[in-house]
Every structure is written in structure tokens, then in C-alpha cells.
Structure 1
Amino acid sequence: MSTLPDLSSLPASSSAIFSSPTYNLPQIRAIHKALHAAVDEKRDRLRVQVGSSYRDLLGTADKIVEMGGEMDAVLDTLGRMGARCGRGVVGRKVGGLGEFKGRVKEREMGEVGRRGLLEGVVLAVERGLRGGRTKQEGRDGEGKGERVLRAAKGLVLGRLLVKSFGQGIQGKGSVEAARKGLKSSRRRLLRIVERVLQSVGEKNEQREDVLRVLAAYSLATGSGAKDTLRYFLRVRGEAMKLTFELDEDERTRAAEDVLRGMRLYTKTLLDVPALVPARLTEALAGLKKQPLIKDQALRGIEGLRLDVYERWCGDEIEYFTPFIRHNDLDREQAREMLTEWAGKGAGVLLEGLEKTLAGMTEFKAIVELRTSVLKLWISEGGRVRGVDTSDLLDRIRTMINEHMLGVVEAKVNKLRLVGSEVSATIEAWREGASTSEPHDFWVPDSLDIDLTNGAAHFTQEVVSRLYGRSDIVSKAVSSYKSWYKVIDDVGQVVEQLKRQRWDNDVDEIEDEETIEQRQQLLSKEDPQALHEHLTGSLVRAFKSLDEQLSALLKSSVAAEKGPDVVMYLLRVVRDIRSNLPALEPVKAFGLDLLPQLHNMVPSSVAEPALTSWAENHKRRVVGRALWEGEPELPTSPSPDCFQFLRELSMAMSEAGMDLWYPAMVTGLKVAVNSHLRENWWKHAEELRARSSPVDVVEKEEKEADGEKMESAETDEAKSDEDAAAAEEPKLEPQEQRDVLVQWLFDITYLRCGLAVPSFESPAEGLKELEDMVFKETDLDTSSRQRITKASQEYWKRTSLLFGLLT
């Protein structure tokens, strides 16, 4: 396709273009289209130019109209300004501006004044809660309750002042600090209120403090009379619980805790009827009689200066009166609340008393607690009205009595420890342990006793040696004495209970019947029950100890432990019997055991001396050269006889001089008499066997007829002895007679030393033996009298050598 020619170079006539051979038909058509497009473009451009100029003309016209309106407004404004520029108009405006600035300054001054008053209130409240007083506050007779109530009023005033600053000013430092200080003071005030309610002081003064702090609590918390009473009872109940709770450094509860809990309980039962609802209602109503800022207690605080700052407080503070529901509690509601609390409080008190008693084992301390608790309840509980106090008294008495009976039973049963000590000592013998024997008086170590602390130790040592109290005996005896001292104290305390008086010294309006009934219950029935229980427990305990010691004796005899155990038991039983309780059934303690011990001790002590005598007596030789008179008769006992008495007395001394009281010495002499009679009779038979046959026949002919035949066993034993005696050399008749005469002197001498005043059966002693030997000697009566007199004289000269036998 050929290029389109420039339209500006085309001829002006269209016929020239169409007729020109230069352009073919497609070019002509293109030129036609280009021409039409150029024409349309120019037409549009011209149309735009004409429209823009028209809009400019319209805008100009609008501006002229607007300027005309503004000129009219300016003229109108200038007219009004001219009208307002008069003298009177300007004066009124100046006066209004002055009033506006005054109101702004007044607001600023009020804010400053309230802030200063708020700071003073915070300081006054803190000082009042700390207990400090200014000169005007230091009035005579002002108590803690008044200070707490004044602090509560200041706290309410402080909260009103903080509220008066609004929300926008809370960020300011002084107000925010005051707000925090008031919150802290409120917490401290509530703690002080609790402490005052938990305290137990003088009756009238403390009750007035309770009334004021209850009013302070109501004012600080906005509680009514009913909520205030509920709070009071709750605080007292918690205080009773805290009284019986143990601190970290405490192990047991003290009796003072019970008394404090009892005082709190009785004080509550007395305070509530005295304060509620009348006095508490009046106290709460008195807080609403006048605006708070007019209260004289607040105006009396020196640092507040309410007479100056009052004008800046505003109507909300100036006419504020606390709103407290003072009449929402009647007497019936108060009685129901108190009755319900009394039941719970009695449970807490009894539980605390039970826990306290559980840790008390000293009977005297328990009795003192009983006396204190019951006297407190009688004096305070007797004035309680509306609550049954007798039921709680019975429950307290029953609980204490049951614990005392248990303590008495436990203390009495500790007597078994004495038996355990004895059993352990005997067991030590079984195991081969060494035991210390009682010391003699006259030993060198007696000089080494320490006397620097007086003669108590020396006296104790002397007494111990006198009564044979070795270490093992002293342990058992000391155990018994410690037990007896405790039981004796219990008995004395029980007797004191019988002498107690339970009069109500505080309230003297009780009738005689009530006093007598209480006296009968507390001073007769309770001590009598304790006494009977103590008596029964003592009888059972001593019976058990008696059986235990008897069993130990039987087991010791069966185990063949020797005489030391028997003497040890005898000493223990003797010392226990010397200090028995004054009870008839207890006096029988050891009476079944003592005869066995009295038989066993003398036999065991005398056995070595009798054995030695038997051996020496068989081979003795008569000291014929010492005889005197006409006919010649002995004037002194044979050596074996004297040695026998010496060994016997030494054995008694070694066993301990404390054992040989008259009954024991009598038992020893009876046993020795019986043994000597039997063995000496055998020796006489042996002496016959050693004689010549002719002499034996003569002696047999002189014997009385009618002797009973010996048994077969006796004949056999006799034949054995005769066979043994046949081996010994035969005695001549004179030698045999001399032996018999010496025996007669020895028997007479022994009768002097072994005489038993109460012994009434001569056949069981040496009298029959003496008669038999006398018959064998063929002496006349005068010779016998000489021998008897000589033996008695010799005994008088030598009896002191055998002191324990005399």
C-alpha cells in the first residue's frame, strides 16, 4: 500500500484530487478518511477552547457575587462592633472576667486545703492507731477503744477527702500516697479491733473498749448491728481456737491456755447480753446523730484544724453522715446467735481442755488446773443468763476426773518397775554378773567419805550400811521410795480436795442449796471416787508385786542361785514393808513370802558353820587337863564348840547385821537347835559304837524298856554307820565318860547361846539331848549343877564375842 500524502499539500478542490491521475482509488479513499478525521479533530479542539473560556466567565461572575455578600457581612459586623464598644458594655465584660478568675482561684485553694486536711487526717489516724496522743487527746480515762473509734472516724473522713478529688487527680503523688496510707491504716485498725476483742481485761473497762471497737469496726466497714455481732462472735471463737494451738517453739499446752480460753468463753457469754442489742444499737445510732465533720472527737485532734479547713471541704463532706444499719438486730436474734456460738465454743473449750490434759502427767498440776478452771467457771459462769452452765460444768468435771483416774492408775501401776528392777538384778546373777555386798561399818574406806557438802552424804552412807543396802538393794529401794513419794503426794492432794470450798465469792446471791450441792459434788463425791480408785489400784499393784516376788523366789530356788538372792529379796521386801501405804489390805504384802525367806536365810547362813562343826566334832579330843574341882569337871567348852559359835556369828555378820532382827535370830536358833540335836544324837550313837562290847551291853541294859523298833531303812543306815565307826579306834570306858561330860558342858553352853525365849517344845531343842547325855555320864545332880553354873558363867564372859546371837 502506498504512503498517504501530506494533507496540507493537497489541492484545495476535491475535483482536482479525484481527477488527478496521481492518486489511485485506495489512496483517494484513505485521503477521504484522513480528511474527515482531521475535520473532526479540529471541531473538537475548537469546541473545548470555547467551553473553557465560558467557565472562566461564570467563575468570575460567582466571585463578584460572593464578594458582595462578604462586603455586606463586613459592614454588618463593623456595625455591631461599633454598637458593642460602648462604656457600659466594656465594663460589664471586665466584671465577668474578674468573677471567672475568682472561681478558678477558689477551686485551686479548695483543692490545696483538702489536700492539707487529707495529709493531717492520715497522720492523725496513724498516730492514733500507734497509741500516741496529743495534748488535747490525752484526756484522763481515755482508753484504747476511744482511740480506735476516733481513728475509724478519721479513716472515714480521709476516704471522703480522697473521693472528693475525683478520678482525674488520682495520679498526683500526695493524694495517691494518702490513699495507700489510708488502706494500710484500715488494715491496721481491723487488726487492732481483733486484738481488743481477743483480750481479757478488767470487766467494766474492757467491756467499754469492746463496745467502742465494735462501733469502730461498724464505721470502718459499714456493717450493721447484726453483722457486727456476727463478727464479734467469730473473732472470739477464733481467739479460743488460737489459744489451744501450739506455737513452733512450744511442745505442750499450758494450764494458762485453758484458763484464757475459759475467760474468753465466759466473757463472751457475759458481754453479748450486756452489749447487744441495746448498747450496741445506741452506740451505732450515736454515730449518725450529726455530720461526721462536726464530731467533737475529730475536732479535738490538734493537727487537723477542722475549724480552718472545713470551708474547703464542700457540701458532700460537710454534711456527710455515716449510714449504718443500727436497728437490724433484735434481742431474740441476738439470743439465737449467742446460743449457737455457745454450743460451738463449749466444744472448742472441751477439746482444748482434753488436749491440755493429755500432755499433763503431774497429778498436782492437774488438780491445780481443775481448781482454777472450776473456780473460774463457778465465779463467771454463775452470772451467765440464757445458757445452761451446769451441763458444761458436769462435762468439765467428768473430763478432768477421768484423766485424774487414768493418771492415778498409771502412777500406781509403776510399782511394777520395782519388780522389774528386782527381776533384772536376779537375772544378772543368772548371767554371772558380780554384785556388790553391803559394806561393813569399820572399814578403812569409811574415812574417805566426802564431807565438803555437809553430813548428808555421810548420814546416807551410814544408813545404807546399817540396813545392808548395797548398790543392787539401793536401786530397788530407791525405785520404790520414788514411787511411794509420788503416790503419797497423790494421797495428800486427794485429801486437800476434800477440804476445798467452792463458794462463789463474786456472786453472793446463790442459795444455800446450790452451794451445798456443788460442795457435795466437788469436795465429797469426786475425792471419794479418786480415793476408792487409788485404794483399789494400790491393792491390785501390791498383790501383783507380791506374786511377782514370790515367782522370782521360786525360780531362784529352782535354779539354785544361792543364799545371796534370798537375802537380797528379804532386804527388798523388808524395806518395802517398812514403808507401806496406810491401807489394811496392803499390810498383808509379803506375809506369805516372809516365812519362806525366814526359813531359808538362817539355814543357808548356818549351814557352813554346822558342816564345819560336824567335821570337827567327829575327830575332837577332850582337853582333860583343864578340868577342875572334885570330881573334876570341865570349866570351858571344847574348841570345836567355841569355833562353831564363832563361825556362826561370823557368818551372820558377813550376811549383814541388818538381817538379824529378833524373829530372824529366833529362826536361826531354832534351825541350829534342831540340826545340833539330830547330828549330836548320831554322834552319841557313834560314840557307843566306839566303846568296848562289855560297856555297850551294860549301857543297853540300863536303857528303858519299850523302845520302838527302827525301820528297815534306819537299820540299814545304822549298820553302815556302825561299819564306818568300827574302823575308828575303840574308846575306853573312862575316855567315853570324859567325852560325854565334855559334851554335857558343851550342850549346856550352847543352850545359853542358842536359847529361844518363845520356844516351848524342849523335845525339839537341846534339852532332851542334855538329859540323854547326862544319863550316860553317871554324874550326880550336884555335878550337873556345877556344870550348868560353870557354863552360864563362861557364857557371860564370852557372850560379847557372839554379839548377833545374844
Structure 2
Amino acid sequence: MAVDALQLEKWEDAFQQPVASVRVMEKQLRVALQEKKDGLRALVGESYRDLLHTAERIIEMNDSIQQVESHLSQASKQCNYGSLQKKATNAVSMKQKEEDKDRKSRVTAAELAVLSNCPIAISRALSHNKSPLVAAKLYILARLLRRSVSEKVKSPYITTLERQLSNLRVTILRDLDHELCQLDTDAAKILQCLGAYALITSSSTSDTFMHFQTLRLNAVVSLLRQDTVSAETILEAIRLLNENLRLSTQLFPKRLSDNLANLQLKPLFQEPAINDMMELNMAVHIHWISDSIRMYTPWLKTDDLRNESCKIEIASKLGTTLRAIFDGLEKAVKVVSKVESLVQMRHDILIAGRGVIARTSDLNSEDLNQSLTKIREIVNTRIREVLNGDIGSMGVLGQDLAKLVSETSTVRKKDQGSWNSMLSSFENAKGGRNLKAMVRAVSYSDKSGLRSVRLKHSKWIAKIASNYAHIKKMSEERDWDPDNDEDEDDLDAPETLKEMNSTDTEALLLNYVEGLLEGYRSLETNMAGLVDGMRQESDIVDSPQRIEAACLIIRFISIVRNSCPQHGNDGIISLGWFGKDVKLRIYDFLSRDVAKKALRSFSKDLSRRKWSSGVPFIGLWEGAPKLPIQPSPLVFKFLRNLVQSMNEIGVDIWSRDATDALKRTVSKAVWDELEESLTTAEKQTNGVVDFVEDKKEEGEQKVEEADDEKEDEEKKDEGDEQKEDEEKKDEGDEQKEGGEEQKTVEENPQAEHTPLSPLHREQVLQGYFDSTYLDNAFRTVQARGVTRDDKNKDKDSQVTLGWEFIERTREKVPVETDDRVKMSRSAEDYWRRTNLLFGVLDI
């Protein structure tokens, strides 16, 4: 078995084996040696030559080291300490002599170079909105350099630089003041500006604080001294004041003192912002600048401001500022003429003013304590002025009405007071627009000239209601808004906003309602003056223009009463009293004027009546004995003329009160005419015919004169005139028949059952029926539910024609009670069947 040659420990052991084994081991060793060589070559590879070079370099370095050691050994032998000290001293001396030779010129040149670039650097610092403190420090540096250079060099260029620096100082201070007055400037920027101001002006902490307060006060005052001060201006002034108080609380005195103290901690030339400026090139010039300038540190007095003095100064400036705000607020509200704007202004200013109070709760200021009250007083006073002005514009309506009344110098075309054929013949085109216009004209009497007055009144009522709604809305506003109170939720105003709004709303609405009532009373007084003037004219001259003017006033009163100011579904004031007395005065003379024409015709017809003769239309009587069942034609004619006169001035005029006034006036006038006719008949029978005829002729002459005066008016209605002539003809026939009947009675006295009397029985019965019929026609609303006996007791309110006629004639012609009752019932029943013919009269 062959032995592994690699396992042998000694080479002698290999030869202890047989030759064949030795040869085998030789082959093994040779193979192993070749493998080692191959592995070594694989590890060395291409770096083999580098290793050879490295070995050679090591050998060379060893030679060099030996040479250096040899040279150092020789140098140490040649040099000692004394020689080196002498050489060093000589080198320093030579360098100092060289530097002292041109240092002064180098320092002057460096300082002048930096000084000439300082204006550019300052301008760039201001224009690029950098820190104002940097500009201030540059100005201080430039001032030091100018002083140093001016002592060494006398040149016009230095004077020019001094002028530039002076202008830059003004510019810096102006920019600082502008920045300090800005509302959106933060506290850090304010501190930088105050530090810059203290550096430039060498002010102490107290002076800097006073300057800030004065500047803020002047900013507020300058806002309020403008020609036009608006609500936005007042709010901006209050916000500026509020921000001033906030900054004063945060910055003074501690933070300002600390900031000014930090400015004294290191020299100005050690500021990185200054050293890094390319314009100054400090890397080159700083070495040559004087040590006194390079080491300059500003000194400021920072321990002269106390908290108590701050509060006193803030309170003083606050009082002055608030008084300026109050004055500005008075100017601002004077130019506002809308209640809505004033209410919104009041709300915004109170919200802003609350912030002032919250931040100054520890200040003892009378103006501050009364600030909200003063603001409310100023705005509320202006609101009252605007409200009173709007109420006073009611006087324009009175003036327009007076002008309209005065312009009725010519007779206007009468309005269509009710529906007629023209109203029912409109086409339905355009949604019935024409029909609506006509109905509106009839309902509101627009054609009488009141359209413009009605439209103005509608606008005025809308404005009054709008003002009331805006004031009422004040009490519905929310209380102080916590979202706008920042971090001051623990600080409250003396009174809540809701309480102030409720108090002011109640006071303003009370004043508003009283003002409206006073305005309506004044308007009613003005109308009463117009009516009194027309009543005086009515006693002098009879004019249709005056009737039209009275109708205008009545329609205006109806417009006012039907358009009461409303808030929602509730009325602001009640106008049930408005115009009652005026209407009664108008109804007094209007009823006389309207009834004149009908009463004149009634008097003329009644004068032709023959009381001593029979009734020509007795054939229409019924019953046993025969009694009248319908009134005389003259009564129908009289009522028709009266209703026609009423319709001519407009159906809308005749309310119940107006109709009752007319009925009272007409009933008295009818009885006077009836009594005069009876008296004339008695006088004729008693032998005073001549005297009566003279009176009659005189009366007829007066009637003819009155007829001549009314000729133009009677010509307007030709149809009525023709009808009147026909009725006169019928009455002529009646008189003729009556004459024949009288003749018959004289020829045959036995035909009459009663003794001869100045009043014929048939005429008395017909007269009683006529008077009873007129009683029903002229019965007022108050008298409709009263019995006849009660009405007889109240003769001052209304004349009872039927009862008076019986009392007047019972001695001449007795009438049985049953006959009177039958005729009364028949007259009342006949009125119920015919009252629709006189619809305006039976309202």
C-alpha cells in the first residue's frame, strides 16, 4: 500500500519505503507543488509587477530617509536658538515699518468705500421689505463712518453723502411710522420697528413707548378727520384701537425692554445680516476699519418704563381716541339716511367696541366705561332723526292734497262711481289688463287726481313698515359671538348685547309709534284747516268745485285708513280714529250742497201742489176706505234727483256716516218745505191770498234767479230735463183735474163727507203716506232699530216726517188711527220693495 507523502513528518521516512512507493510519493509531491504554484499565481495575478515596483519603492524610501537624517544632523549642527531669535525680531520690525507707512490711507479708503455704499444698502434693505432693524443698524454704521471720514477728509463728496444719509433717516422713520400704523402688522415686526426707532433716535424705552401710543392715536385721528367718514372708517379706527390695546398688553413694558436690551449685547459689525451684504464688501474692508467703529455697541436706556406708567398713558390716549371716534361716528351717521344701514352700523360698532372693553378691563377710564352707551346714544339719535324725517315726509302728502284741492278751479269730469256697460264690454286680451286698470281707477278714484298721492302714500307706508321691521330685528339679533372673541371668553362687557338691543328697540319703537301718531294727528289737523276753509266758502258761494275738493279729502282719508302700517300680520298703529271729525265736518256741508238741486226741484214741485183739491190718481188707491199705496210722483222724482246727485260725486263717498248725515239734513229740509207748503195753503184759505201771492211771487223770483245760476248745471242732463218737463205736464194735468174736482165739490157740497177745510182729506192722506215713505227712506243706521215712539222723543237727531205731518194736520183733517197704521205699514212695505231703486241712499 502506497503511503501519503503529505502525511510524512520527516523526509527520511520516505526513503524507508520501497522504491515503487517512493516514486509514487514523488509524483504526489510534484502534483501538490504544481497546485500550490497555480494557486499562488491565481492570487498574485496581474499585480505581480506592482508588487515588484512596491518593493523597489520601499528600498528607495529607505535610502531617502537615510539622506534626510543625514541632512538634519548637519542642520542642527549649523543652527542655534540665538540666531533664530535674532532673525525673527528683525522680520517683525521690518513688517511693522512697512504697514505703518500706508495704514492711514488704507483705513480712510476702506471707511469711505463702506460709507459710499451704505445709502445703496439702506435703500435696498427698505425696498426689499427686509427687517427695518437692519436698515436702522446700517444707518448707525453710516453715521459712525461719516463722522470718522469727515475728520480725516474734507471734500464735497462727504457733504453729498451727509445729505443722502439725512434724507434716508427721514425715509426710514417714515417707513417705520407707516409700518407701526398698519393693522395687520404682527408683534415681532412691531418690536423690530420700535427697536429701529430707538436706535435711530437714541430713545429710551419710555420714549419709544410714548412714540408708539402717540403714533397710533394720530393714526386713528387722521382716519376720522377725513372729509367723508363712513361706517368702514369707524370700524377700521376701532380695530386699530383694539389692536393697539392688544399690542400694548403684549409688548409693554417687558418685551420692549428685553428687545432693546438685546440690541446692546454685541457690536453692530458682528451682525451676520450686515457682514453678508454684497454692497458693503465687508470681507475686504472690515480689517482696515477703525477698532472704535468695529467694536461699537449701541447703548439705550431700558429700565425707565413701569407697568403703572404704561396703564396711565394707555388710559389717557384711550380717552382721547374714544372721543375722536365718537366725533367721527357723529359725522358718519349724519350721511346715512337708511335705517337698515344704521342698524347694521350699530351692531358692527358695538361688536368691535366690546373688544376694546374686554382688553381694558383693568383701566380706570370714564370714557371707556361709557363707550358702548355713547355709541348707542349717537346711533340711536340718528335713527330717531331718520325715522322722524320719514314721518315728516307725511307732510308732503298733506301738501300734495292741499295743492290738489286748490287746483280744482274748474269742474272736472265726474268719475264713474259704479259698474256700467263700458266695464262689462272689455275684451279679455292681455289678461284683462284694461279691465283691471278700470276697476283700480274706480276703486281708488285714480281719475280724481289722487293716483299720484295714493302711490306716494303706498311708498311711504312701505318705507315705514320697512323701518319698523329693521328696528324690530335688532331685538332678534344674537348675543356676543364667541367665535369673534379670540381668547377673551372670560372677559365680558358690562351689559350683554341682547339686553342693549332689547332696551334700544323698545325705546326706538315707542318713539316711532308716538311720532307716527303725531304725524297722523298733524295731517288730520291740516285737513281740518282745509275743511274749515271750504265750510266758510260754502256759506258764501255754491260751487261744484268745492264739492269735488271735499270728495278728494274724503277719498284721501279712506286711502290713509285702509293702508295702515303693518308689520307681519299686526298693525303698527291703529287708525280707526283718523279723520272722523274731519269727515263729520265734510258731511255737514257736503250733504247740504249735494241735496240743493234735488231740494230746489222738490220745493218747486211742492209749491204747485193743491192741498185744497183732491188727488188726481186716487184711482190707484186700494182698500175700504180707500188709502194710498204708493207715494206721489214728486217724491219719486225728488228721491231720484237726490240719488243722481249722490252718484255724480261718486258712490265711494257715501259711507254709512255720510249717508246718515245727508238723511238728517234732507229730512229737516223736506219738513221745512212741507210745512211752508201747508202754511201757504192755510193762508190762502183764510183770506190772505194777496199777501201769500206776493210772497209766492217773491219766492218764485228767487227760485227763477237760482234757476238762472244753475242753468249750466241743468243743461248737462238733457234727458233728466225732458223727463222733468213731462212730469211738470202731468202735474199740470193733475192741477187741472184738481180744479175740476174742486169745482165739482163747490157745486155739490154734499159730495164731501167732512167740513170744508183748507186741506183736502185726500191730499192729507197722500201727504201722510209720502212723509211716511220718506221716513223710511231717510231712516239712519242708528234709528233703524228704534221704535216710532222712541224716535219721537229724539227729535234733535232726526225729523220724523210722518208724525210731524199728522201733528200738523190733525186739527184740520182728522185721520183715524187704524188708517194711519195701515198707511204706515203700506209705506214701509213699499219702501222695502223699491229701495233698490235708490241703492246709494239705503246703505
Change (3 A) 1:783 1:340: closer
* Distance in 1 of aligned mates of 2:396 and 2:777: 41
Alignment match, 1:668 = 662
Q: 1:313 aligns with which of 258, 267, 289?
A: 289
Inter-partner Cα distance in structure 2 for 1:668 and 1:533? 40
- Aligned-pair identity in percent equals 20
Equivalent position of 2:226 in the other structure: 246
Distance 1:783-1:492 versus aligned 2 partners, 3 A rule: closer
Q: Which residue of 2 aligns with 1:232?
A: 212
Change (3 A) 1:556 1:408: farther
Distance 2:148 2:177 in 1: 30
1:193 aligns with 2:176: yes
SS of alignment partner, residue 155 of structure 2: coil
**Rounded Cα–Cα distance in structure 2 between residues aligned with 1:744 and 1:304:** 129
CA distance in 2, matches of 1:309, 1:342: 50
1:154 — aligned with what? Answer: 138
**1:124-163 mapped onto 2 (5 Å cutoff):** 124-130=121-127, 132=128, 147-163=131-147
Q: Does 1:292 align with 2:268?
A: yes
Structure-to-structure mapping, 1:538-617, within 5 angstroms: 538-560=516-538, 562-580=546-564, 582=571, 588-617=577-606
Matched, 1:371 2:368: no
Flag the 1:257–1:455 CA change in 2: closer, same or farther, 3 A.
farther
Equivalent pair of 1:364/1:490 in contact (CA under 8 Å): yes
Structure 2 vs 1, CA of residues 613 and 109 (structure 1 numbering), >3 Å: closer, same or farther?
A: farther
CA distance in 2, matches of 1:718, 1:660: 44
Point out where structure 1 has 5 or more consecutive residues left out of the alignment: 1-91, 133-143, 448-452, 697-715
Following superposition, the deviation at residue 553 of structure 1 comes to: 3.0
Map of 1:341 onto structure 2: 317
Specify the alignment match of 1:655 in structure 2.
Answer: 649
Q: How does 1:269-284 map to 2 (within 5 A)?
A: 269-284=245-260
- The two structures have a TM-score, normalised by structure 1, of 0.68
**Measured at CA, do residues 585 and 341 of structure 1 come closer, stay the same or move farther in structure 2, by a change above 3 Å?**
same
Deviation at 1:368, TM superposition (A): 2.8
Q: Structure 1 residues 756 and 317, CA, compared in 2 at 3 Å: closer, same or farther?
A: same
CA–CA separation in structure 2 for the residues paired with 1:340 and 1:477: 57
Q: How far apart, CA to CA, are the structure 2 residues paired with 1:279 and 1:788?
A: 107
For residues 622 and 315 of structure 2, what CA distance do their matches in structure 1 show? 114
Please state whether the residue corresponding to 1:321 is helix, strand or coil.
coil
- The amino acid that maps onto 1:242 is S
1:232 CA drift (Å): 0.8
Correspondence for 2:713:
none
Structure 2 CA distance for partners of 1:438 and 1:608, relative to 1, 3 Å:
closer
User: Counterpart in 1 of 2:190?
Assistant: 210
Query: What TM-score comes out, normalization by structure 2 length?
Result: 0.65
Q: Give the CA deviation at 1:161.
A: 3.6
Q: How many residues align?
A: 666
Match of 1:330 in 2: 306
Q: Which amino acid aligns with 2:134?
A: R
- d(CA) in 1 for partners of 2:781, 2:486: 71
* Correspondence list, 1:646-795, <5 A: 646-683=640-677, 686=680, 720=692, 724=696, 731-732=738-739, 734=741, 756=780, 758-759=782-783, 760=786, 762=788, 764-765=799-800, 767-768=802-803, 791=830, 795=834
Q: Deviations over 1:273-300 (max 9, x none)?
A: 3111111111112222222122133345
CA gap of 1:360–1:298, structure 2 versus 1, over 3 A, is: same
Describe the superposition over 1:400-439 as per-residue Cα deviations: whole angstroms up to 9, x where unpaired.
Answer: 4266347526743775664576468658867985696775
Structure 1 counterpart of 2:673, one-letter code = N
Counterparts of 2:322 and 2:602, CA distance in 1 = 82
Give, in whole Å, the separation in 1 of the partners of 2:414 and 2:367: 60
CA contact (8 A) 1:620 1:640 kept: no
Cα distance change, pair 752–769 in 1 and its aligned pair in 2 (3 A): same
For residue 42 of structure 1, what is the aligned residue in structure 2? none
Distance 1:531 1:600, change over 3 A: same
Quote how far apart the aligned CAs of 1:612 are.
2.5
Q: Secondary structure of the equivalent of 2:304?
A: coil
Of 103-112 and 361-370, the range deviating more from structure 2? 103-112
Q: Deviation digits for residues 601-657 of structure 1, max 9, x if unmatched?
A: 333322222223322443479996897697899998766444434433332233233
Give the CA deviation at 1:162: 3.4
Asked if structure 2 preserves the Cα contact closer than 8 Å seen for 1:129 and 1:188, the reply is no
Are the equivalent residues in 2 in contact too, given 1:258–1:349 (CA < 8 A)?
yes
Describe the shift of the 1:659–1:347 C-alpha distance in structure 2 as closer, same or farther (beyond 3 A): same
Does the Cα contact within 8 Å between 1:645 and 1:802 map onto a contact in 2?
no
Q: CA deviation at 1:198?
A: 1.9
Give the Cα–Cα distance (whole angstroms) in 1 for the partners of residues 387 and 156 of structure 2: 74
Deviation at 1:192, TM superposition (A): 1.7
Cα pair distance change 1:743/1:230, threshold 3 Å: same
Residue 360 of structure 1, CA deviation? 4.6
User: Can you list the C-alpha shifts for 1:32-64, whole angstroms capped at 9, x where unaligned?
Assistant: xxxxxxxxxxxxxxxxxxxxxxxxxxxxxxxxx
What residue number does 2:476 align with? 499
Distance 1:495 1:629 in 2: 71
Aligned residues of 1:686 and 1:722 also touching (Cα < 8 A) = no
- Provide the rounded CA distance (Å) in 2 between the counterparts of 1:459 and 1:233: 70
Name the stretch that deviates more: 517-526 or 681-690.
Answer: 681-690
1:219 maps onto 2:199 in alignment: yes
Paired with 1:365 and 1:328, the residues of 2 have a C-alpha distance of 48
Aligned equivalent of 2:119: 122
Q: Secondary structure at the match of 2:177?
A: helix
Structure 1: distance between partners of 2:141 and 2:361: 40
Kindly tell me: are residues 471 and 352 of structure 1, through their superposed partners in 2, closer, same or farther at Cα, counting changes over 3 Å?
farther
How do residues 417-496 of structure 1 correspond to structure 2 at under 5 angstroms? Answer: 418=394, 422=398, 426=402, 439-440=415-416, 463=440, 465-469=442-446, 473=450, 484-496=461-473
Against the structure 1 CA distance between its residues 439 and 402, is the aligned structure 2 distance closer, same or farther, given a 3 Å change threshold? farther
RMSD (Å), alpha carbons: 5.2
Query: Given that residues 277 and 331 in structure 1 are in contact (C-alpha distance below 8 angstroms), is that contact kept between their aligned partners in structure 2?
Result: yes
- Offset at residue 445 of structure 1 (A): 13
Note the C-alpha offset of 1:309: 4.1
What is the DSSP-based 3-state SS (H/G/I as helix, E as strand, rest coil) of the residue aligned with 1:267?
A: helix
- Tell me which moved more, 635-644 or 290-299: 635-644
The letter of the residue matching 1:351 is: D
Q: 1:445 to 1:340 in 2, by over 3 A?
A: farther
What is the deviation of 1:801? 7.5
* CA-to-aligned-CA distance 1:428-479 (integer Å, 9 cap, x gap): 86798569677547999999xxxxx999999788645523356765566666
Shift in Å at residue 306 of structure 1?
A: 3.5
* Residues 432/316 of structure 1: CA separation in 2 closer, same or farther (3 Å cut): same
* Separation of aligned partners in 1, 2:741 and 2:325: 101
User: What SS does the aligned partner of 1:610 have?
Assistant: helix
Instruction: Answer yes or no: is the 8 Å Cα contact 2:595–2:645 preserved in 1.
Output: yes
Residue pairs, 1:255-270, within 5 angstroms = 255-270=231-246
Mapped partners of 2:288, 2:512: distance in 1 = 81
Shift in Å, 1:574: 3.3
